[in-house]
Amino acid sequence: MKKLINNAEDVTVEQLKGFGLACDDIDVHFDPNFVNVAGGVKDRVAIVSGGGSGHEPLHGGYVGLGMLDAACPGQVFTSPTPDQMFEAGKTVNGGRGILQIVKNYTGDVLNFQMAADMLRDEGIEVRNVIIDDDVALKDSLYTAGRRGLGTTVIAEKVCGAAAREGYDLDKLAALCKKVNIYGKSMGMALTSCTTPQNGTPSFDLPEDEMEIGIGIHGEPGTKRDKIKSADEVTAILAGRILEDEAYTRNLSEWDPAKGDWVDVEVTDITFQKGDEVIAIVNGMGGTPLSELYTVYAKLAELTAQHGVKIVRNLVGNYITSLEMAGVSITLVKTDEEILRLYDAPVKTPALRWGI
């Protein structure tokens, strides 16, 4: 393993230290670790997210004006713990409640639920919305369900803008759930990745093979295949996304009337001719930007063939897996509301426009 680190145990703290020094508008807190927008939040819903480290710029890179109010980084590829979200939530609470955007990984879901329970005990209203947009997984009955991928970035952008427009907590949670069912993603890996703690690759991937349906934690995907061309790989991923059938599953959410977590049945969309979408061609951390543009070229051709129009796009590293080489594609259907909020000004370390 070759890595630019000092001590493997210290990577998350050292990274946070540098992040804080590099970003003027962001406050960094240690023990428990979280980052938040400087100046705090007044008289509107605050938005908090988080997850394991190693996916940068997710989530800290999306803290700032028009997006997240706080982010809680866990250890590398390990979900953050409830005390982090608890302190972050208390810090950014602007008196109108907190929306927690949670990627669908068992650890993230459980830790954010415990944090929500703790914040509620402090008299702060909290809604958790789960993002589960990974079409690589077909069924949810016998698995922990689809994982959260690139739609998370769009949900954080759109909800961040909506919070600043004055959406109340229920309206904001409904918007976030809409973005989730409008979004579909799928990824693949050319190489594995190595966490600093372990020092060896998370899985073996021979030189002539690729892993289709990869998650973002170095966990193996759903299918191993011989390596193919960029166009063929793009066609596999885009094909699965564009042709994915409406997916029905139960997602856990807080029911304020019952005062308990309940399972709610959710069904997502299928892409139709005439749909307008935001597209992300996302690098997994070790993919040259040039290769991502090659993928984007094919994606634009395939969506056009499908009658789906890309109206906005992001090409680059937005939700990564350390140094893994690979790509994920995300398409999020838009409507007037989503597009207006997506275009609203944003000023964060990783996304910046309209300012």
* Binding-site ranges for another protein (CB under 8 A): 32, 52, 74-83, 105-107, 110-111, 113-114, 137, 142-144, 147, 195, 197-198, 202-203, 215, 217-220, 222, 252, 263
- Please say if 306 is a catalytic residue: no
Q: How far is the CB of 206 from another protein (least distance, A)?
A: 16
Which residues does residue 265 pair with via DSSP β-bridges, in sequence order?
250
Kindly give, in sequence order, each residue whose CB lies less than 8 Å from that of residue 124, ignoring residues fewer than 6 positions away: 89, 90, 93, 97, 98
Kindly give, in sequence order, each residue whose CB lies less than 8 Å from that of residue 67, ignoring residues fewer than 6 positions away: 47, 156, 157, 160, 161, 346, 348, 351
**Closer to another protein at the Cβ: 160 or 187?**
187
Catalytic residue among 29, 59, 217, 306: 217
Give the per-residue SS3 of 247-285: CEEEEEEEECCCCEEEEEEEECCCCCCCCEEEEEEEECC
Indicate the burial class of 176 (C-beta count within 10 angstroms; 0-12, 13-18, 19 or more).
Answer: buried
Q: How far is the CB of 113 from another protein (least distance, A)?
A: 8
Residues 102, 112: Cα–Cα separation, whole Å? 7
Catalytic residue among 29, 55, 59, 306: 55
**Closer to another protein at the Cβ: 75 or 93?**
75
**Closer to another protein at the Cβ: 53 or 234?**
53
Q: In what order do the strands lie in the sheet with 70-76?
A: 26-29, 34-37, 70-76, 46-53, 98-103, 126-131
- Please say if 217 is a catalytic residue: yes
Cis ω on the peptide bond leading into residue 32 (within 30° of 0)? yes
Backbone angles phi, psi at 266, to 5 degrees: -130, 135
**Closer to another protein at the Cβ: 65 or 214?**
214
Q: How far is the CB of 326 from another protein (least distance, A)?
A: 16
**Closer to another protein at the Cβ: 12 or 294?**
12
Q: How far is the CB of 32 from another protein (least distance, A)?
A: 7
Q: How far is the CB of 51 from another protein (least distance, A)?
A: 10
Assigned token pair, 24: 């003027």
Catalytic residues: 55, 217
